[in-house]
């Protein structure tokens, strides 16, 4: 009753007493070493002098960094080489009147069935139809980018409009160079390779889709945009061949040309949407 204690009887703040009988270190004012801790303290490695060191390694912001630019550029060039190589092969066959054109002629004779539905589908590749759709999507994207405070909000829409203006600058010289005659379903003439309507539809609707995708959060909306782009492009392509406005090779060459332009456009837009010193948004 009257014995004195060498320490005060109340607990000191921030300390845990372990007076469990038989527990190692019982009676010590410090927390028990016999029980596992539920704090990250036990996960720490000790330093050279036995004191608590740093916490175990964990995944941090470094894992969110984009890949190094060199592999990304290499993959981009490898993918770009596929449509470029195919376009070069088709152009060579047209210039040399190669055997592929005989297969192309047989396929055209089997597919050509002039009619109003085919003509309506091919009209979707007209400049008067495709370009206003792209301009509308570019305007809406610019408004959304600016409303959200995006840096260089004008960049992606401006690049899309520049891209569609670039299509005739590439297609017309190819038409004049190859001077390919048309199918028997059209009046005699040259300059049908590659298909300008196909290139216009693929680039205009594709650039519009690439502008809209980053602004859409619902999965069904993104799927609808991609499906609409593919449906319009394939519809125009089928309508041109079905109506006899173009040979199948003309359409395939425009697919390759449009793929090259859209791949470059997507890479440029990705750089424009990258904040200075940060990762793409």
SS3 273: coil
Q: Is the pLDDT of residue 248 over 50?
A: yes
Q: Is the pLDDT of residue 9 over 60?
A: no
Rounded to a whole number, what is the distance in angstroms from the first to the last CA of the chain?
A: 73
Q: Is the pLDDT of residue 22 over 80?
A: no
Band of the pLDDT at 51, cuts 50, 70, 90? Answer: low
Cα 204 to Cα 223: distance, rounded to the nearest angstrom: 18
pLDDT of residue 27: 47
Q: Is the pLDDT of residue 266 over 80?
A: yes
Band of the pLDDT at 274, cuts 50, 70, 90? Answer: low
Mean pLDDT in residue range 148-166: 88
pLDDT tens column, 28-46: 444 444 444 444 444 444 5
**What DSSP designation does 149 have?**
T
């Amino acid at each position: 009753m009257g014995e004195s204690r060498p320490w005060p009887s109340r607990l000191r703040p921030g300390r845990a007493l372990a007076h469990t009988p038989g527990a190692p270190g019982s009676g010590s004012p410090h927390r028990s070493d016999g029980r596992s801790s539920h704090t990250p303290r036990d996960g720490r490695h000790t330093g050279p002098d036995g004191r608590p060191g740093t916490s175990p390694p964990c995944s941090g912001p470094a894992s969110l960094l984009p890949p190094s630019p060199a592999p990304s550029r290499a993959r981009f060039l490898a993918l770009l080489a596929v449509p470029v190589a195919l376009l070069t092969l088709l152009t060579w066959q047209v210039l040399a009147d190669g055997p592929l054109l005989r297969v192309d002629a047989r396929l055209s004779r089997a597919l050509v069935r002039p009619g109003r539905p085919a003509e309506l589908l091919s009209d979707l590749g007209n400049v008067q139809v495709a370009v206003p759709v792209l301009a509308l999507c570019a305007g809406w994207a610019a408004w959304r980018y600016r409303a959200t405070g995006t840096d260089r909000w004008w960049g992606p829409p401006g690049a899309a409009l520049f891209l569609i203006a670039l299509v005739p600058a590439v297609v017309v010289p190819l038409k004049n160079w190859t001077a390919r005659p048309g199918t028997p379903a059209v009046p005699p003439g040259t300059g049908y390779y590659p298909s300008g309507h196909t290139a216009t539809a693929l680039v205009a609707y594709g650039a519009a889709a690439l502008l809209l995708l980053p602004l859409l959060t619902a999965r069904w909306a993104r799927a609808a945009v991609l499906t609409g782009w593919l449906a319009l492009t394939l519809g125009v392509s089928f309508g041109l061949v079905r109506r006899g406005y173009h040979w199948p090779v003309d359409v395939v060459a425009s697919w390759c040309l449009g793929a090259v332009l859209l791949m470059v456009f997507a890479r440029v837009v990705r750089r424009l949407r990258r904040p200075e010193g940060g990762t793409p948004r």
